[in-house]
């Protein structure tokens, strides 16, 4: 289905593509995989809009993207996904400044944080990774509807294997907080959001894809101690052993951005979203493998509907008005 794999880079995936005339909106575009996705797409002629919470970081990243892509079509916009007011303000500003969004890449994320809360009182991983993007997507949908490509890519993670989404206690009010459990629950929500978007918007030509980018050393690990990292590497080795495989090597940032670029542009995916992609392929549903695949609970349509209803209730807004 795809000529690319685990070692492909963003540039290789986009080779031969012409993205001129396309607007790509990327959250978390001032760091790591988001910045590399922006660079690679700008190098193919796209107008890229990078969104992050810190204007100074955005300016620095925009300069690096311009330098690395020879493109001057780089815009920045501030959004703090951990504040619904900031998300609404970003949505309003984006609708005023831009005519359309062809590709929306919901890439920003936080991982394994200590227990903290967003401005609106949501546990920070669920609040940032899922609810912030849920509301931002609602506010950007008028621009996506005006785009030609109409694709939405949501960065999930193999970390979704850790846990299903807990709809009865999304903010860890009635159970002990565990940083990795929360990350898994938020990353499952990212897959379910892709399924929910597909169910609601496919008939308008808008398709949505969840992506596991691989394991890449970025700023995402900022909350991990040396011991946390050692334990994580041990779990990765044990998972590979359980599956009878060699542990997958870490990817470079260039390789880590490849599956996002593939999901956003691959001709093979035209008209068929609501899927989870890894290593530049659509991954099979698999409830056993510890090293690949998407869990059935992450693509369950009823759970996607239930999460959608809960998310609308928590953000206090509906997609339909
Ligand atoms: N790296 C991996 O191994 C890996 C594996 C699986 C999945 N992923 C996923 O890939 C995505 C990108 O991660 P990365 O590895 O590129 O990490 P990264 O370098 O830390 O980038 C994450 C980006 O998200 C932004 N962000 C965090 N909180 C935000 C908020 N409240 N509002 C707005 N922006 C916010 C960060 O901005 P600041 O710089 O201001 O914090 C940063 O630009 C994440 O969704 C992550 O879960 C990564």
Q: Give the CATH number of the domain where residue 281 resides.
A: 3.40.50.720
Cα 5 to Cα 111, 181, 265, 280, 296, distances in angstroms: 25, 29, 15, 5, 23
Check residue 71 and give its pLDDT. 86
Are the CB atoms for 81 and 62 separated by under 8 Å? no
Which whole number is the average pLDDT over 28-35? 98
CA of 129 to the centre of ligand 1 (A): 9
321 in any annotated domain: no
| pLDDT greater than 80 at residue 1 | no
Q: How confident is the model at residue 18 (pLDDT cuts 50, 70, 90)?
A: very high
State pLDDT tens for residues 248-271: 999 999 999 999 999 999 999 999
Enumerate residues 6+ apart whose C-beta is below 8 A from 179.
Answer: 112, 113, 114, 115, 125, 223
Whether 183 sits among the annotated catalytic residues: the reply is yes
- In a domain, residue 4? The reply is no
Band the pLDDT of 321: cuts 50, 70, 90: confident
Stated as kind and residue range, the H or E segment containing 152 is strand 151-155
Closest residue by Cα to atom 10, ligand 1, is: 155
What local confidence, expressed as pLDDT, does residue 309 receive? 98
Instruction: Tell which wins on pLDDT, 70 or 281.
Output: 281
Centroid of ligand 1 to alpha carbon of 145 (angstroms): 26
**Residue 278: enclosing H or E segment and its boundaries?**
strand 275-278
Average pLDDT, the chain: 97
Reported in sequence order, the residue ranges of 8-94 that DSSP labels E, i.e. its strands, are: 23-27, 47-52, 74-78
Q: How many whole angstroms separate alpha carbon 91 and alpha carbon 93?
A: 6
> Which position among 31, 83, 157, 183 bears the catalytic label?
183
Give me the domain span that covers residue 26. 10-315
Whether 156 is catalytic is yes
Which value, to the nearest 10 degrees, does the dihedral of the CA atoms of residues 301, 305, 306, 309 take?
170
Considering only CA atoms, which residue is closest to atom 40 of ligand 1?
53
Identify the residues whose C-beta falls under 6 Å from ligand 1: 28, 30-34, 52-54, 57, 79-82, 107-111, 128, 155, 157, 212-213, 215-216, 218-220
Q: Which residues, in sequence order, are CB contacts of 290 under 8 Å at separation 6+?
A: 161, 239, 240, 242, 243
> Is the model's pLDDT at 59 over the cut of 80?
yes
The answer to whether position 142 is within a domain reads: yes
As a whole-number percent, the residues of the chain with pLDDT over 70 amount to: 100
**Closest atom of ligand 1 relative to the 211 alpha carbon:** 7
Extract the tokens encoding 81: 């996904």
Tokens of 262: 């593939």
Residue 288 — very low, low, confident or very high, per pLDDT cuts 50/70/90?
very high
Q: What residues have CB less than 8 Å from 280, skipping those under 6 apart? A: 2, 4, 5, 6, 8, 13, 258, 259, 262, 266
C-alpha separations of 92 from 97, 139, 141, 175, 260 in Å: 9, 7, 11, 37, 26
Domain annotation covers residue 281: yes
pLDDT confidence of residue 103: 98
- Does 2 fall in a domain? no
Query: Does the residue 247 lie in any domain?
Result: yes
* Residue 204 covered by a domain: yes
Active site residue 6: no
Strand extents, DSSP E, 166-268: 207-212
Instruction: Dump pLDDT digits (tens) for 211-246.
Output: 999 999 999 999 999 999 999 999 999 999 999 999
**Residues 185-195: pLDDT tens digits?**
999 999 999 99
Q: Determine the 3-state secondary structure of 223 from DSSP.
A: helix
> What is the largest distance, in Å, between two alpha-carbon atoms of the chain?
53
Nearest-atom index, ligand 1, CA of 215: 3
Do the beta carbons of residue 254 and residue 30 sit within 8 Å?
no
Determine the average pLDDT of the residues in 197-221: 97
Structural domain includes residue 320: no
pLDDT greater than 90 at residue 204: yes
The pLDDT of residue 320: 87
Residue 27 Cα to ligand 1 midpoint, Å, equals 9
Number of structural domains the chain divides into:
1
């Amino acid at each position: 289905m795809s000529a690319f794999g685990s070692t492909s880079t963003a540039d290789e995936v986009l080779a031969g593509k012409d993205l001129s005339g396309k607007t790509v909106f990327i959250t978390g575009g001032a760091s790591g995989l988001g910045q590399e996705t922006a660079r690679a797409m700008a190098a193919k002629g796209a107008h890229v809009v990078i969104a992050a919470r810190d204007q100074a970081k955005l300016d620095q990243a925009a300069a690096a993207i311009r330098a690395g892509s020879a493109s001057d079509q780089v815009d920045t916009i501030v959004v703090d996904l951990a504040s619904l007011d900031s998300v609404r303000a970003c949505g309003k500003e984006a609708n005023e400044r831009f005519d359309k969004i062809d590709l929306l890449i919901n890439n920003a994320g936080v991982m394994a944080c200590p227990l903290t809360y967003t401005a609106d009182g949501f546990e920070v991983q669920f609040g940032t990774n899922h609810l912030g993007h849920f509301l931002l997507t609602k506010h950007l949908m008028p621009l996506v509807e005006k785009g030609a490509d109409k694709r939405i890519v949501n960065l999930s993670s193999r970390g979704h294997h850790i846990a299903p989404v807990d709809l009865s206690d999304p903010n860890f009010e009635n159970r002990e907080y565990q940083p990795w459990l929360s990350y898994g629950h938020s990353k499952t929500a990212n897959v379910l959001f892709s399924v929910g978007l597909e169910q609601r918007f496919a008939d308008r030509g808008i398709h949505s894809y969840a992506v596991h980018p691989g394991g890449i050393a970025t700023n995402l690990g900022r909350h991990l101690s040396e011991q946390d990292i050692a334990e994580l590497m041990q779990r990765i080795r044990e998972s590979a052993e359980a599956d009878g495989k060699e542990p997958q090597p870490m990817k470079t940032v260039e390789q880590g951005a490849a599956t996002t670029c593939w999901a956003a542009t691959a001709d093979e995916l035209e008209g068929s979203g609501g899927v989870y992609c890894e290593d530049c392929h659509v991954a099979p549903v698999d409830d056993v493998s510890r090293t690949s695949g998407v869990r059935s609970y992450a693509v369950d349509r009823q759970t996607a509907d239930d999460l959608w209803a809960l998310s609308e209730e928590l953000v206090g807004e509906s997609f339909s008005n």
